[in-house]
A and B are shown apart, each in its own frame.
Chain A
Amino acid sequence: MLKRIFAAMLACTLAGPAMAASGNVELQRRDWSFSGPFGTFDKAAMQRGFQAYREVCAGCHSLELIAFRNFADLGYNEAEIKAIAAQYDVQDGPNDDGEMFMRPGIAADRIPSPYLNENAARAGNNGALPPDLSLITKARANGPDYLFSLLAGYKEAPEGVTVPEGMHYNAAYPGNLIAMPQPLYGEDVTYSDGANNSVEAISSDLVQFLMWAAEPKMEVRKRIGVAAVFFLSIFLIFSYLAKRRIWADVH
Protein backbone atom coordinates (compact mmCIF):
# COMPACT_ATOMS: atom_id res chain seq x y z
CA MET A 1 0.00 0.00 0.00
CA LEU A 2 2.65 2.47 1.09
CA LYS A 3 4.87 1.33 -1.71
CA ARG A 4 2.13 2.17 -4.13
CA ILE A 5 1.72 5.67 -2.68
CA PHE A 6 5.41 6.15 -2.99
CA ALA A 7 5.48 4.95 -6.55
CA ALA A 8 2.54 7.16 -7.43
CA MET A 9 4.30 10.12 -5.94
CA LEU A 10 7.47 9.47 -7.83
CA ALA A 11 5.35 9.18 -10.94
CA CYS A 12 3.81 12.56 -10.17
CA THR A 13 7.25 14.04 -9.79
CA LEU A 14 8.06 12.68 -13.18
CA ALA A 15 4.83 13.54 -14.89
CA GLY A 16 4.20 16.96 -13.36
CA PRO A 17 6.89 18.98 -15.05
CA ALA A 18 6.38 17.07 -18.27
CA MET A 19 2.77 18.17 -18.21
CA ALA A 20 3.72 21.72 -17.42
CA ALA A 21 6.18 21.71 -20.25
CA SER A 22 3.70 20.41 -22.80
CA GLY A 23 1.96 23.75 -23.26
CA ASN A 24 3.66 27.02 -23.96
CA VAL A 25 3.29 29.24 -20.95
CA GLU A 26 3.47 32.89 -21.88
CA LEU A 27 4.23 35.21 -18.99
CA GLN A 28 3.94 38.92 -19.52
CA ARG A 29 6.46 40.74 -17.37
CA ARG A 30 5.14 44.01 -16.00
CA ASP A 31 6.49 46.79 -13.86
CA TRP A 32 4.45 46.76 -10.68
CA SER A 33 4.35 49.66 -8.28
CA PHE A 34 5.05 47.20 -5.45
CA SER A 35 8.23 45.73 -6.97
CA GLY A 36 11.66 46.61 -5.69
CA PRO A 37 12.90 47.62 -2.26
CA PHE A 38 10.96 50.90 -2.28
CA GLY A 39 7.80 49.52 -3.88
CA THR A 40 4.41 50.56 -2.53
CA PHE A 41 0.82 49.63 -3.26
CA ASP A 42 -1.34 51.84 -5.41
CA LYS A 43 -4.31 52.56 -3.14
CA ALA A 44 -6.66 53.75 -5.89
CA ALA A 45 -5.86 50.66 -7.96
CA MET A 46 -6.46 48.43 -4.94
CA GLN A 47 -9.88 50.00 -4.36
CA ARG A 48 -10.73 49.43 -8.01
CA GLY A 49 -9.33 45.92 -7.72
CA PHE A 50 -11.59 45.21 -4.76
CA GLN A 51 -14.57 46.44 -6.76
CA ALA A 52 -13.57 44.20 -9.66
CA TYR A 53 -13.06 41.25 -7.31
CA ARG A 54 -16.47 41.83 -5.87
CA GLU A 55 -18.29 42.20 -9.15
CA VAL A 56 -16.38 39.64 -11.23
CA CYS A 57 -14.54 37.09 -9.07
CA ALA A 58 -16.46 36.87 -5.82
CA GLY A 59 -19.22 34.76 -7.32
CA CYS A 60 -16.89 31.77 -7.29
CA HIS A 61 -13.65 32.71 -5.52
CA SER A 62 -13.47 33.22 -1.77
CA LEU A 63 -11.09 35.61 -0.02
CA GLU A 64 -11.16 33.87 3.32
CA LEU A 65 -8.23 35.48 5.07
CA ILE A 66 -9.35 39.07 4.58
CA ALA A 67 -11.49 40.85 7.14
CA PHE A 68 -13.33 44.08 6.38
CA ARG A 69 -11.20 45.88 8.95
CA ASN A 70 -8.17 45.17 6.72
CA PHE A 71 -9.61 47.56 4.14
CA ALA A 72 -8.12 50.42 6.13
CA ASP A 73 -4.99 49.53 4.13
CA LEU A 74 -6.88 50.36 0.93
CA GLY A 75 -7.48 53.87 2.18
CA TYR A 76 -11.04 53.45 3.47
CA ASN A 77 -11.94 55.14 6.75
CA GLU A 78 -13.82 53.54 9.62
CA ALA A 79 -17.27 54.64 8.47
CA GLU A 80 -16.66 53.44 4.91
CA ILE A 81 -15.45 50.07 6.18
CA LYS A 82 -18.53 49.76 8.35
CA ALA A 83 -20.71 50.54 5.36
CA ILE A 84 -18.93 47.99 3.14
CA ALA A 85 -19.21 45.33 5.84
CA ALA A 86 -22.90 46.02 6.33
CA GLN A 87 -23.55 45.24 2.66
CA TYR A 88 -22.64 41.61 3.33
CA ASP A 89 -24.72 39.05 5.20
CA VAL A 90 -22.70 37.08 7.71
CA GLN A 91 -23.78 33.92 9.44
CA ASP A 92 -23.72 34.10 13.22
CA GLY A 93 -25.09 32.08 16.03
CA PRO A 94 -26.30 29.94 17.48
CA ASN A 95 -28.85 32.23 19.10
CA ASP A 96 -30.77 31.40 22.27
CA ASP A 97 -32.99 29.04 20.28
CA GLY A 98 -29.94 27.20 18.97
CA GLU A 99 -30.44 28.48 15.44
CA MET A 100 -27.82 30.00 13.19
CA PHE A 101 -28.92 33.34 11.82
CA MET A 102 -27.78 35.94 9.30
CA ARG A 103 -26.84 39.45 10.32
CA PRO A 104 -25.16 42.37 8.55
CA GLY A 105 -21.37 42.19 8.61
CA ILE A 106 -19.21 44.22 10.97
CA ALA A 107 -15.63 45.39 10.51
CA ALA A 108 -14.19 42.44 12.43
CA ASP A 109 -15.84 39.85 10.14
CA ARG A 110 -14.02 38.08 7.38
CA ILE A 111 -15.40 38.39 3.85
CA PRO A 112 -18.03 35.64 3.53
CA SER A 113 -17.22 32.88 1.03
CA PRO A 114 -19.47 32.21 -1.96
CA TYR A 115 -19.76 28.51 -1.15
CA LEU A 116 -20.39 26.75 2.13
CA ASN A 117 -17.60 24.23 1.60
CA GLU A 118 -15.29 22.71 -0.95
CA ASN A 119 -17.82 20.16 -2.18
CA ALA A 120 -20.39 22.84 -2.81
CA ALA A 121 -17.79 24.86 -4.71
CA ARG A 122 -16.90 21.88 -6.87
CA ALA A 123 -20.53 21.02 -7.46
CA GLY A 124 -21.14 24.54 -8.69
CA ASN A 125 -18.21 24.51 -11.09
CA ASN A 126 -18.28 21.20 -12.97
CA GLY A 127 -16.02 19.55 -10.42
CA ALA A 128 -13.30 22.20 -10.59
CA LEU A 129 -12.46 24.04 -7.39
CA PRO A 130 -12.12 27.82 -7.68
CA PRO A 131 -9.13 28.44 -5.39
CA ASP A 132 -9.26 30.89 -2.53
CA LEU A 133 -7.57 34.10 -3.67
CA SER A 134 -6.19 35.37 -0.34
CA LEU A 135 -2.69 34.06 -1.05
CA ILE A 136 -2.88 33.47 -4.77
CA THR A 137 -0.09 35.87 -5.75
CA LYS A 138 2.27 34.09 -3.35
CA ALA A 139 1.03 30.60 -4.13
CA ARG A 140 2.05 30.75 -7.79
CA ALA A 141 5.52 31.23 -9.22
CA ASN A 142 5.93 34.86 -10.37
CA GLY A 143 2.48 35.42 -8.87
CA PRO A 144 1.64 38.98 -10.01
CA ASP A 145 2.86 38.46 -13.59
CA TYR A 146 1.24 35.05 -13.75
CA LEU A 147 -2.09 36.32 -12.54
CA PHE A 148 -2.05 39.23 -14.95
CA SER A 149 -1.07 37.00 -17.86
CA LEU A 150 -3.74 34.48 -16.92
CA LEU A 151 -6.53 37.05 -16.80
CA ALA A 152 -5.45 38.52 -20.11
CA GLY A 153 -4.39 35.19 -21.58
CA TYR A 154 -7.63 33.81 -23.01
CA LYS A 155 -7.20 33.18 -26.72
CA GLU A 156 -8.49 31.16 -29.60
CA ALA A 157 -6.95 27.72 -29.36
CA PRO A 158 -4.22 27.33 -31.98
CA GLU A 159 -4.81 24.82 -34.71
CA GLY A 160 -4.34 21.23 -33.69
CA VAL A 161 -5.35 21.84 -30.08
CA THR A 162 -8.74 20.46 -29.19
CA VAL A 163 -10.40 22.13 -26.24
CA PRO A 164 -12.65 19.67 -24.39
CA GLU A 165 -16.14 20.60 -23.27
CA GLY A 166 -16.03 22.79 -20.16
CA MET A 167 -12.42 23.78 -20.69
CA HIS A 168 -10.93 26.96 -22.09
CA TYR A 169 -7.72 27.81 -23.84
CA ASN A 170 -5.35 30.08 -21.93
CA ALA A 171 -1.85 31.00 -23.02
CA ALA A 172 -0.55 31.56 -19.49
CA TYR A 173 -2.00 28.50 -17.78
CA PRO A 174 0.29 25.46 -17.39
CA GLY A 175 -1.03 22.96 -19.90
CA ASN A 176 -3.07 25.74 -21.57
CA LEU A 177 -6.44 24.17 -20.69
CA ILE A 178 -8.19 25.87 -17.82
CA ALA A 179 -11.62 25.19 -16.32
CA MET A 180 -12.28 28.84 -15.50
CA PRO A 181 -14.25 30.58 -18.24
CA GLN A 182 -12.85 33.87 -19.44
CA PRO A 183 -13.73 36.30 -16.64
CA LEU A 184 -12.89 39.64 -18.27
CA TYR A 185 -13.90 40.99 -21.65
CA GLY A 186 -13.33 44.69 -21.00
CA GLU A 187 -15.82 47.17 -19.52
CA ASP A 188 -16.91 44.48 -17.06
CA VAL A 189 -16.73 46.99 -14.24
CA THR A 190 -17.66 50.64 -14.23
CA TYR A 191 -15.27 52.50 -12.00
CA SER A 192 -16.58 55.51 -10.12
CA ASP A 193 -13.30 57.34 -10.69
CA GLY A 194 -13.73 56.85 -14.43
CA ALA A 195 -10.54 54.82 -14.69
CA ASN A 196 -9.76 52.69 -17.72
CA ASN A 197 -11.70 49.43 -17.66
CA SER A 198 -10.04 47.48 -20.44
CA VAL A 199 -9.12 43.84 -19.76
CA GLU A 200 -5.52 44.87 -19.06
CA ALA A 201 -6.51 47.71 -16.73
CA ILE A 202 -8.92 45.59 -14.69
CA SER A 203 -6.42 42.73 -14.52
CA SER A 204 -3.78 45.12 -13.29
CA ASP A 205 -6.12 46.49 -10.61
CA LEU A 206 -6.97 42.96 -9.50
CA VAL A 207 -3.29 42.09 -9.23
CA GLN A 208 -2.71 45.16 -7.05
CA PHE A 209 -5.59 44.19 -4.80
CA LEU A 210 -4.68 40.51 -4.56
CA MET A 211 -0.98 41.22 -4.03
CA TRP A 212 -2.01 43.30 -1.06
CA ALA A 213 -4.34 40.53 0.12
CA ALA A 214 -1.47 38.03 0.06
CA GLU A 215 1.15 40.30 1.59
CA PRO A 216 -0.61 43.07 3.52
CA LYS A 217 2.51 43.94 5.52
CA MET A 218 4.69 44.50 2.48
CA GLU A 219 4.99 48.27 2.75
CA VAL A 220 6.02 48.28 6.40
CA ARG A 221 8.34 45.35 5.71
CA LYS A 222 10.19 47.26 3.01
CA ARG A 223 10.24 50.42 5.07
CA ILE A 224 11.85 48.68 8.05
CA GLY A 225 14.07 46.83 5.60
CA VAL A 226 15.61 49.97 4.20
CA ALA A 227 16.39 51.22 7.71
CA ALA A 228 17.76 47.83 8.80
CA VAL A 229 20.02 47.49 5.77
CA PHE A 230 21.28 51.04 6.26
CA PHE A 231 22.01 50.39 9.94
CA LEU A 232 23.74 47.09 9.27
CA SER A 233 25.85 48.57 6.47
CA ILE A 234 27.20 51.20 8.85
CA PHE A 235 27.71 48.47 11.43
CA LEU A 236 29.68 46.44 8.91
CA ILE A 237 31.92 49.37 8.01
CA PHE A 238 32.52 50.26 11.64
CA SER A 239 33.22 46.71 12.72
CA TYR A 240 35.65 46.25 9.86
CA LEU A 241 37.51 49.44 10.74
CA ALA A 242 37.50 48.45 14.42
CA LYS A 243 38.89 45.06 13.47
CA ARG A 244 41.69 46.75 11.51
CA ARG A 245 42.56 48.89 14.52
CA ILE A 246 42.60 46.04 16.98
CA TRP A 247 44.60 43.76 14.73
CA ALA A 248 47.10 46.46 13.86
CA ASP A 249 49.57 45.21 16.47
CA VAL A 250 49.39 41.52 15.49
CA HIS A 251 51.68 39.93 12.84
Chain B
Amino acid sequence: MAKSDKTQNPAKGDVQEPGRRDFFVVATYAMAGLGAAAVAWPLIDQLNPAADTLALANIEVDVSKIAVGQSITVKWRGKPVFIRHRTADEIARANATDITGLRDPQDDVARAEKPEYLVLVGVCTHLGCVPLGQKTGEVRGDYDGWFCPCHGSHYDTSGRIRKGPAPTNLEVPPHNYLSDSVIRIG
Protein backbone atom coordinates (compact mmCIF):
# COMPACT_ATOMS: atom_id res chain seq x y z
CA MET B 1 0.00 0.00 0.00
CA ALA B 2 1.29 3.40 -0.87
CA LYS B 3 0.35 4.74 2.49
CA SER B 4 2.19 2.17 4.57
CA ASP B 5 5.63 3.05 3.35
CA LYS B 6 5.20 6.75 3.54
CA THR B 7 8.59 8.27 3.13
CA GLN B 8 10.30 11.45 2.19
CA ASN B 9 9.06 12.61 -1.17
CA PRO B 10 11.73 13.29 -3.73
CA ALA B 11 10.36 16.66 -4.72
CA LYS B 12 9.94 17.81 -1.18
CA GLY B 13 13.62 17.44 -0.39
CA ASP B 14 14.56 19.65 -3.28
CA VAL B 15 15.34 23.18 -2.25
CA GLN B 16 14.09 24.51 -5.57
CA GLU B 17 10.70 23.54 -6.92
CA PRO B 18 11.18 22.59 -10.54
CA GLY B 19 10.17 25.28 -12.94
CA ARG B 20 9.68 27.95 -10.30
CA ARG B 21 11.66 30.51 -12.26
CA ASP B 22 10.52 29.34 -15.67
CA PHE B 23 8.83 31.99 -17.81
CA PHE B 24 5.95 29.78 -18.88
CA VAL B 25 5.28 28.59 -15.35
CA VAL B 26 5.16 32.13 -13.99
CA ALA B 27 3.10 33.30 -16.96
CA THR B 28 0.61 30.46 -16.55
CA TYR B 29 -0.07 31.24 -12.92
CA ALA B 30 -0.17 34.96 -13.64
CA MET B 31 -2.76 34.40 -16.37
CA ALA B 32 -4.81 32.20 -14.06
CA GLY B 33 -4.89 35.03 -11.53
CA LEU B 34 -5.70 37.60 -14.17
CA GLY B 35 -8.51 35.45 -15.55
CA ALA B 36 -10.02 34.96 -12.10
CA ALA B 37 -9.93 38.71 -11.50
CA ALA B 38 -11.61 39.39 -14.85
CA VAL B 39 -14.38 36.94 -14.03
CA ALA B 40 -14.97 38.59 -10.67
CA TRP B 41 -16.10 41.83 -12.30
CA PRO B 42 -19.40 40.62 -13.84
CA LEU B 43 -20.24 38.93 -10.56
CA ILE B 44 -19.80 42.20 -8.70
CA ASP B 45 -21.28 44.45 -11.36
CA GLN B 46 -24.53 42.49 -11.38
CA LEU B 47 -25.19 43.95 -7.93
CA ASN B 48 -25.45 47.43 -9.48
CA PRO B 49 -28.88 48.74 -10.54
CA ALA B 50 -30.18 46.90 -13.60
CA ALA B 51 -31.12 48.61 -16.86
CA ASP B 52 -34.84 48.64 -16.06
CA THR B 53 -34.13 50.23 -12.69
CA LEU B 54 -31.88 52.86 -14.27
CA ALA B 55 -34.56 53.60 -16.87
CA LEU B 56 -36.75 54.86 -14.06
CA ALA B 57 -33.96 56.93 -12.50
CA ASN B 58 -35.46 60.06 -14.10
CA ILE B 59 -39.10 61.00 -13.93
CA GLU B 60 -41.03 63.84 -15.48
CA VAL B 61 -43.70 65.56 -13.43
CA ASP B 62 -46.34 67.97 -14.66
CA VAL B 63 -46.74 70.56 -11.89
CA SER B 64 -49.36 72.71 -13.59
CA LYS B 65 -52.21 70.96 -11.79
CA ILE B 66 -50.94 71.64 -8.28
CA ALA B 67 -53.03 74.43 -6.75
CA VAL B 68 -51.29 77.21 -4.86
CA GLY B 69 -50.62 76.07 -1.31
CA GLN B 70 -51.01 72.40 -2.26
CA SER B 71 -48.36 69.70 -2.35
CA ILE B 72 -47.98 66.44 -4.21
CA THR B 73 -45.78 63.46 -3.41
CA VAL B 74 -44.25 61.47 -6.25
CA LYS B 75 -42.07 58.40 -6.01
CA TRP B 76 -38.57 58.80 -7.36
CA ARG B 77 -35.87 56.14 -6.99
CA GLY B 78 -37.93 54.43 -4.32
CA LYS B 79 -38.20 57.57 -2.21
CA PRO B 80 -40.94 60.19 -1.81
CA VAL B 81 -40.35 63.53 -3.49
CA PHE B 82 -42.34 66.48 -2.19
CA ILE B 83 -43.37 69.17 -4.66
CA ARG B 84 -45.08 72.16 -3.05
CA HIS B 85 -46.66 74.97 -4.95
CA ARG B 86 -45.83 77.66 -2.40
CA THR B 87 -47.96 80.64 -1.58
CA ALA B 88 -46.53 84.14 -1.89
CA ASP B 89 -46.50 84.33 1.89
CA GLU B 90 -44.49 81.13 2.21
CA ILE B 91 -41.98 82.34 -0.36
CA ALA B 92 -41.67 85.68 1.41
CA ARG B 93 -41.07 84.01 4.76
CA ALA B 94 -38.50 81.66 3.28
CA ASN B 95 -36.63 84.61 1.80
CA ALA B 96 -36.94 86.79 4.89
CA THR B 97 -35.23 84.31 7.15
CA ASP B 98 -31.80 85.37 8.30
CA ILE B 99 -29.72 82.37 7.37
CA THR B 100 -26.65 83.21 9.41
CA GLY B 101 -28.05 81.55 12.49
CA LEU B 102 -29.21 78.38 10.74
CA ARG B 103 -27.67 74.98 11.29
CA ASP B 104 -27.34 74.44 7.54
CA PRO B 105 -27.33 77.95 6.08
CA GLN B 106 -28.71 78.12 2.58
CA ASP B 107 -30.60 80.81 0.67
CA ASP B 108 -34.06 79.97 -0.57
CA VAL B 109 -33.13 81.03 -4.11
CA ALA B 110 -30.44 78.37 -4.07
CA ARG B 111 -33.06 75.75 -3.23
CA ALA B 112 -35.88 76.64 -5.60
CA GLU B 113 -35.13 77.50 -9.20
CA LYS B 114 -38.63 78.87 -9.59
CA PRO B 115 -39.74 80.16 -6.20
CA GLU B 116 -43.32 78.90 -6.69
CA TYR B 117 -42.29 75.26 -6.82
CA LEU B 118 -40.17 73.71 -4.10
CA VAL B 119 -38.92 70.19 -4.87
CA LEU B 120 -37.59 68.15 -1.95
CA VAL B 121 -36.63 64.58 -1.21
CA GLY B 122 -39.14 63.75 1.51
CA VAL B 123 -36.73 61.93 3.75
CA CYS B 124 -35.72 63.41 7.10
CA THR B 125 -31.97 63.93 7.17
CA HIS B 126 -31.87 62.65 10.72
CA LEU B 127 -32.70 58.95 10.45
CA GLY B 128 -34.71 58.57 7.29
CA CYS B 129 -38.36 58.99 8.32
CA VAL B 130 -40.85 60.70 6.02
CA PRO B 131 -41.80 64.10 7.51
CA LEU B 132 -45.44 65.23 7.82
CA GLY B 133 -46.86 68.36 6.24
CA GLN B 134 -47.83 67.29 2.74
CA LYS B 135 -51.54 66.90 3.25
CA THR B 136 -53.79 69.68 4.43
CA GLY B 137 -54.46 69.29 8.11
CA GLU B 138 -51.19 67.54 8.84
CA VAL B 139 -48.84 68.94 11.43
CA ARG B 140 -46.36 71.25 9.71
CA GLY B 141 -44.13 72.05 12.66
CA ASP B 142 -43.22 75.34 14.28
CA TYR B 143 -42.00 76.90 11.02
CA ASP B 144 -44.97 75.90 8.85
CA GLY B 145 -42.96 73.65 6.58
CA TRP B 146 -42.61 69.99 7.49
CA PHE B 147 -42.38 68.15 10.79
CA CYS B 148 -40.76 64.80 11.31
CA PRO B 149 -42.74 62.83 13.87
CA CYS B 150 -40.01 60.30 14.60
CA HIS B 151 -37.64 62.57 16.52
CA GLY B 152 -39.21 66.00 16.22
CA SER B 153 -37.33 67.83 13.49
CA HIS B 154 -38.94 71.04 12.28
CA TYR B 155 -38.38 72.27 8.72
CA ASP B 156 -39.38 75.69 7.40
CA THR B 157 -41.16 76.66 4.17
CA SER B 158 -37.90 76.21 2.30
CA GLY B 159 -37.34 72.74 3.79
CA ARG B 160 -34.48 74.00 5.97
CA ILE B 161 -33.85 72.45 9.37
CA ARG B 162 -34.77 74.89 12.11
CA LYS B 163 -35.29 72.82 15.23
CA GLY B 164 -34.69 69.23 16.28
CA PRO B 165 -31.95 66.65 15.73
CA ALA B 166 -31.67 66.58 11.91
CA PRO B 167 -28.22 67.76 10.84
CA THR B 168 -29.01 69.19 7.39
CA ASN B 169 -31.84 70.65 5.31
CA LEU B 170 -34.19 68.44 3.35
CA GLU B 171 -32.32 67.46 0.20
CA VAL B 172 -33.21 69.13 -3.07
CA PRO B 173 -32.98 66.43 -5.77
CA PRO B 174 -31.33 67.31 -9.07
CA HIS B 175 -34.10 68.64 -11.29
CA ASN B 176 -34.67 70.98 -14.18
CA TYR B 177 -37.61 72.48 -16.04
CA LEU B 178 -38.31 70.91 -19.42
CA SER B 179 -41.04 73.50 -19.95
CA ASP B 180 -42.87 75.95 -17.74
CA SER B 181 -44.84 73.22 -16.08
CA VAL B 182 -42.84 69.99 -16.55
CA ILE B 183 -40.05 69.17 -14.14
CA ARG B 184 -37.59 66.41 -14.83
CA ILE B 185 -36.28 64.96 -11.58
CA GLY B 186 -33.04 63.01 -11.62
Q: Which residues of A contact B (CB under 8 A)?
A: 67, 69, 106-108, 231-232, 234-235, 238-239, 241-242, 245-246, 248-249
Q: Which residues of B contact A (CB under 8 A)?
A: 18-19, 22, 24-25, 27-28, 31-32, 35, 51-52, 55-56, 60
Given the complex, which residues of A lie within 8 Å of B35, measured CB to CB?
Answer: 231-232, 235
Can you give 25 contacting A-B residue pairs, CB < 8 Å?
A67-B52, A67-B55, A107-B55, A108-B52, A108-B55, A108-B56, A231-B31, A232-B35, A234-B31, A235-B28, A235-B35, A238-B24, A238-B28, A238-B31, A239-B24, A241-B24, A242-B19, A242-B28, A245-B19, A245-B22, A245-B24, A245-B25, A246-B18, A246-B19, A246-B25
Given the complex, which residues of B lie within 8 Å of A235, measured CB to CB?
Answer: 28, 31-32, 35
Given the complex, which residues of A lie within 8 Å of B18, measured CB to CB?
Answer: 245-246, 248-249
Classify the interface of chain A: helix, strand, loop or mixed.
helix
Verify B24–A242 contact, CB threshold 8 A.
yes
CB < 8 Å A-B pair total: 41
Classify the interface of chain B: helix, strand, loop or mixed.
helix
Given the complex, which residues of A lie within 8 Å of B52, measured CB to CB?
Answer: 67, 108
Instruction: Give Cα A248–Cα B55 distance, bound, in whole angstroms.
Output: 58
Given the complex, which residues of B lie within 8 Å of A249, measured CB to CB?
Answer: 18
Nearest CB in chain B: distance from A218 CB, A? 16
Instruction: Give Cα A247–Cα B35 distance, bound, in whole angstroms.
Output: 24
Given the complex, which residues of A lie within 8 Å of B19, measured CB to CB?
Answer: 242, 245-246
Nearest CB in chain A: distance from B65 CB, A? 11
Given the complex, which residues of A lie within 8 Å of B32, measured CB to CB?
Answer: 235
Nearest to A224 among chain B residues (CB) is B42
Nearest to A244 among chain B residues (CB) is B24
Nearest to A232 among chain B residues (CB) is B35
Instruction: Give Cα A90–Cα B22 distance, bound, in whole angstroms.
Output: 65
